[in-house]
């Protein structure tokens, strides 16, 4: 891989992205074996630096690093000297002194992983920075789409909901565009960022007009914790216009899949019946996350190609 860090999905060339997806497939094949561990990163140290809550992403990076036999240090801002006001830079220098080969960072500020990359010698992996990017989520989503549909090129993907606050949407738009898919963002005008028309994606306000033509529908969580304003009249109104329920599911092409990065607001952006239906890949996405993160760690920390 040509890059040292994974800060943005936009940093990945088509070749790099495909190398990650191909390597992840090999890693997934290994997960079926009795002994799931590879010795590849023995003696290397991976630090998980989490300044924001996380369930899936943190556990997934930890499992990935451990399956590659790396030593893993988990750092969460709660209970650390960060609550005493220690800066990101001082925390970074501490990690540097401990000899971290890779730092996986989640931070509420957009750009924090980028700053960190200037302070440590190891590779920095962005595990979500504010509303900016979440590149490994986009890679695991691409992996899931490819394993269900056999390809990504030429597919029609709708990304629906709170695009404004979503780092998942940003990273997915970049990566899916690089891989040749056609993306349509669907949201109320209040939940679309300024400048969205410059993104390599179409924009629609009408979910029902878009759904009949899609191969993939990716629902986004309504991110209440990032909302400083009132962006829609009520949750009920939001889910009536932009929620995926059984009626809308029936209107999808029969081969279309339903995705969600989690955590879900069941009953808001997605109904429980849809989340648990055979068309949903939500649990598969989590499982694929481990293989994809193994691939990324392996490729960034010196594996071929
Ligand atoms: C996302 C995140 O934290 O950015 N979740 C995840 O990583 N699986 C999306 C979200 O919080 O809605």
Domain boundaries, the chain: 9-134+286-301, 135-282
Atom of ligand 1 nearest to the CA of 162: 12
Q: What was the pLDDT predicted at 305?
A: 40
Chain centroid, CA 105 distance in Å: 13
Question: What residues contact residue 87 under an 8 Å CB cut-off, 6+ apart?
Answer: none
Atom of ligand 1 nearest to the CA of 54: 3
Q: Ligand 1 within 6 A of 178 CB? A: no
**Cα distance between residue 262 and residue 253, in whole Å:** 23
**Cα distance between residue 190 and residue 112, in whole Å:** 26
Which is it for strands 123-129 and 156-160: parallel, antiparallel or unpaired? unpaired
Mean pLDDT across 7-36: 93
What are the phi and psi torsion angles at 107 (to 5°)? Answer: -150, 145
Mean pLDDT across 269-293: 97
Distance from the alpha carbon of residue 3 to the mean position of ligand 1, in angstroms: 24
Residue 274: both structure tokens together:
């849809």
Q: Is the pLDDT of residue 63 over 50?
A: yes
Q: How confident is the model at residue 81 (pLDDT cuts 50, 70, 90)?
A: confident
Q: What was the pLDDT predicted at 239?
A: 95
Distance from the alpha carbon of residue 208 to the mean position of ligand 1, in angstroms: 25
Are both 9-134+286-301 and 135-282 of the same fold?
A: yes
Is CATH 3.40.50.720 the right assignment for the domain spanning 9-134+286-301? no
Q: Which of the listed CATH numbers 1.20.1250.20, 3.40.50.1370, 3.30.930.10, 3.40.630.30 matches domain 135-282?
A: 3.40.50.1370
Burial 218-237 (b: 16+ CB within 10 A, else e): bbbbbbeeeeeeebbeeeee
**Percentage of the chain exceeding pLDDT 70:** 97
The residue ranking higher by pLDDT, 233 or 268, is: 268
Q: What was the pLDDT predicted at 134?
A: 98
pLDDT tens for 195-213 read 999 999 999 999 999 999 9
Mean pLDDT across 226-237: 85
Q: What was the pLDDT predicted at 151?
A: 98
Lowest average pLDDT, out of 14-28, 42-56, 72-86, 238-252, goes to 72-86
Q: Which residues are catalytic?
A: 56-57, 84, 106, 134
Q: Ligand 1 within 6 A of 56 CB? A: yes
Q: What was the pLDDT predicted at 303?
A: 62
Lowest average pLDDT, out of 224-233, 245-254, 294-303, goes to 224-233
Chain centroid, CA 303 distance in Å: 22
**Cα distance between residue 209 and residue 110, in whole Å:** 33
Best mutation site among 168, 270, 283 for ligand 1 pocket (most ligand atoms within 8 Å of CB): 168
**Cα distance between residue 216 and residue 84, in whole Å:** 45
**Percentage of the chain exceeding pLDDT 90:** 82
Task: Give nearest CA residue, ligand 1 atom 11.
Answer: 263
Mean pLDDT across 250-259: 98
Mean pLDDT across 283-305: 90
Taking residue 37's Cβ as centre, other Cβ atoms within 10 Å add up to 12
Q: Is the pLDDT of residue 85 over 70?
A: no
Answer for the pair 182, 222: CB distance below 8 angstroms, yes or no.
no
**Cα distance between residue 199 and residue 165, in whole Å:** 15
Question: What residues contact residue 59 under an 8 Å CB cut-off, 6+ apart?
Answer: none
Q: Ligand 1 within 6 A of 165 CB? A: no
Residue 255: both structure tokens together:
């081969």
- The whole model's pTM is what? 0.95
Q: How confident is the model at residue 83 (pLDDT cuts 50, 70, 90)?
A: low
pLDDT tens for 115-135 read 999 999 999 999 999 999 999
Q: Ligand 1 within 6 A of 128 CB? A: yes
Mean pLDDT of the chain: 94
């Amino acid at each position: 891989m040509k890059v040292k860090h994974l800060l943005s999905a936009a940093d990945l060339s088509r070749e790099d992205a495909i190398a990650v997806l191909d390597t992840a497939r090999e890693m997934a094949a290994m997960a079926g074996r009795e002994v799931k561990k590879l010795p590849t990163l023995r003696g290397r140290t991976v630090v998980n630096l989490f300044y924001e809550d996380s369930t899936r992403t943190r556990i997934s990076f930890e499992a990935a690093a451990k399956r590659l036999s790396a030593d893993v240090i988990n750092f969460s801002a709660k209970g650390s000297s960060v609550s005493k006001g220690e800066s990101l830079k001082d925390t970074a220098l501490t990690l540097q002194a401990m000899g971290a080969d890779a730092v996986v960072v989640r931070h509420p500020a957009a750009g924090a992983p980028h700053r960190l990359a200037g302070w440590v010698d190891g590779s920095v992996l962005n595990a979500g920075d504010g509303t900016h990017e979440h590149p490994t989520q986009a890679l695991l989503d691409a992996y899931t789409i490819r394993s269900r549909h056999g390809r990504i090129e030429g597919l029609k993907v709708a990304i629906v909901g709170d695009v404004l606050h979503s780092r998942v949407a940003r990273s997915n738009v970049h990566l899916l565009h690089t891989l040749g898919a056609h993306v349509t963002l669907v949201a109320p005008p209040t939940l679309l960022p300024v400048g969205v028309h410059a993104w390599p994606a179409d924009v629609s306000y009408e979910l029902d007009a878009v759904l009949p033509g899609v191969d993939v529908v990716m629902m986004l969580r309504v991110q209440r914790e990032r909302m400083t304003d009132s962006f829609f009249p009520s949750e009920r109104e939001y889910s009536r216009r932009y929620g995926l329920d059984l009626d809308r599911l029936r209107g999808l092409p029969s081969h279309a899949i339903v995705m969600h990065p989690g955590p879900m607001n069941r009953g808001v952006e997605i109904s429980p019946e849809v989340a648990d239906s055979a068309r949903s890949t939500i649990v598969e996405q989590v499982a694929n996350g481990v293989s994809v993160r193994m691939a990324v760690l392996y490729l960034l920390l010196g594996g071929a190609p």
